[in-house]
C-alpha cells in the first residue's frame, strides 16, 4: 500500500458497473478503502444510459449528424440534471454508506473545467469534401484549474466529479467522461488513471488479455490492426495522457468485483497497464 501513499489516482467510473447495485457497492468500498490506505482517489463518472432513459421519458428526441448525437439546449439541461444531480449523488451516497466522506461536484464548480465547443470534420454526403459538424452543447477541455480538487482530496473527503464544463459564454458543455478524466489526471499529475470499462482491457489477436504495454507497443498494435474499432480512440487518449506526464493508464473491466483494489494492490493487476516504458521490475510493484 505504500506504493500509492499520498499519490493521486483518478478513476473513471462508468459502464454496466454503475447499474449493478452489488458492483456499485463493491466499487464504493474500494474507494473508501484506498482513501483510508493513504491514496487520494478522484472519481469521475459517466451516465450515458441514465441520460438516454430520461430523454426517452421526457420524449426529447435527439438529432444525429454523421452518427454523432447533437446536444441541443433541451438535451444539455437533461444531461446536467442527470450527471450533476441524480447520478452524482447516487455515487456520493454509495461511498458515504460504506464509511467514506464523499463530496459531489461538477467541472463547473470553482471553474474546474473550462471547455470549448467540440466540432468534428466529416465527409459530406455524396461528396469528397469535408464539412464541420456542430455538435451543439458538446465540449472538450480547454483549461483545468484543479484547485478545488486539491482542497477536497487533501482532507478526509473524496471528490466525485460530473464531466461538465463551462463554455466560452458561460454555457454548460457536456464532455466525454474519459476525456474529462484524462484532462484532470494530467492537471493533477496523477500517478495512475484507471478507466473502468465493459471490456477486460486490450486483447491480442487470439482474444487473450494483454496485461501490460509500453506506449510504443500500443502504437504498433494500432498500426497492425490488433487494436481496432472503438478501442483505438481510447488507447490514443491513453497515449496522450502519458505523454503529458501521467505515469500510467490502466484499462480495467469494471464488472470484475473489487477491480480497483486488484489493480492497485496486487502484482498481477486487473487490466491492461500502459506506460511509457517497461521498467526492470513490474510497474504494478513500483
Whole-Å CA distances, 26 to 50, 65, 79: 20, 38, 26
Asked if 248 contacts 275 with a C-beta cutoff of 8 angstroms, the reply is yes
pLDDT at residue 228, rounded to an integer? 87
Element (H, E) at 132: strand 130-144
- Measured distance CA(132)–CA(36) in Å, rounded: 48
pTM for the full model?
Answer: 0.89
pLDDT tens digit sequence for 3-16: 666 889 999 998 77
pLDDT tens digit sequence for 63-112: 777 666 788 999 999 999 999 999 999 999 999 999 999 999 999 999 99
pLDDT > 70 in the chain, percent: 92
SS3 232: helix
pLDDT > 90 in the chain, percent: 63
Amino acid at each position: 500500500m505504500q506504493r500509492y501513499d499520498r499519490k493521486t489516482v483518478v478513476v473513471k467510473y462508468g459502464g454496466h458497473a454503475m447499474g449493478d447495485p452489488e458492483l456499485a457497492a463493491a466499487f464504493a468500498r474500494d474507494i473508501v478503502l484506498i482513501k483510508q490506505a493513504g491514496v487520494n482517489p478522484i472519481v469521475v463518472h459517466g451516465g450515458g444510459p441514465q441520460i438516454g432513459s430520461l430523454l426517452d421519458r421526457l420524449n426529447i428526441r435527439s438529432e444525429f449528424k454523421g452518427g454523432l448525437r447533437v446536444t441541443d439546449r433541451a438535451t444539455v439541461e437533461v444531461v446536467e440534471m442527470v450527471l450533476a444531480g441524480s447520478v452524482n449523488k447516487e455515487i456520493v451516497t454509495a461511498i458515504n454508506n460504506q464509511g467514506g466522506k464523499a463530496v459531489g461536484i461538477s467541472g463547473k464548480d470553482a471553474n474546474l473545467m473550462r471547455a470549448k465547443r467540440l466540432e468534428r470534420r466529416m465527409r459530406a454526403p455524396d461528396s469528397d469534401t469535408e464539412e464541420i459538424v456542430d455538435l451543439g452543447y458538446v465540449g472538450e477541455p480547454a483549461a483545468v484549474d484543479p484547485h478545488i480538487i486539491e482542497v477536497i482530496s487533501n482532507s478526509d473527503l473524496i471528490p466525485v466529479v460530473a464531466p461538465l464544463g463551462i463554455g466560452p459564454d458561460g454555457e454548460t458543455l457536456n464532455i466525454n467522461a474519459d476525456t474529462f478524466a484524462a484532462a484532470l489526471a494530467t492537471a493533477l499529475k496523477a500517478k495512475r488513471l484507471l478507466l473502468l470499462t465493459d471490456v477486460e482491457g486490450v486483447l491480442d489477436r487470439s482474444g487473450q488479455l494483454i496485461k501490460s504495454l509500453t506506449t510504443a507497443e500500443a502504437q504498433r498494435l494500432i498500426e497492425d490492426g490488433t487494436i481496432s474499432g472503438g478501442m483505438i480512440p481510447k488507447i490514443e487518449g491513453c497515449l496522450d495522457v502519458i505523454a503529458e506526464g501521467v505515469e500510467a493508464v490502466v484499462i480495467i473491466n469494471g464488472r470484475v468485483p473489487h477491480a480497483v483494489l486488484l489493480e492497485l494492490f496486487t502484482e498481477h493487476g486487473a487490466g491492461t497497464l500502459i506506460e511509457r516504458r517497461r521498467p526492470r521490475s513490474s510497474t504494478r510493484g513500483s
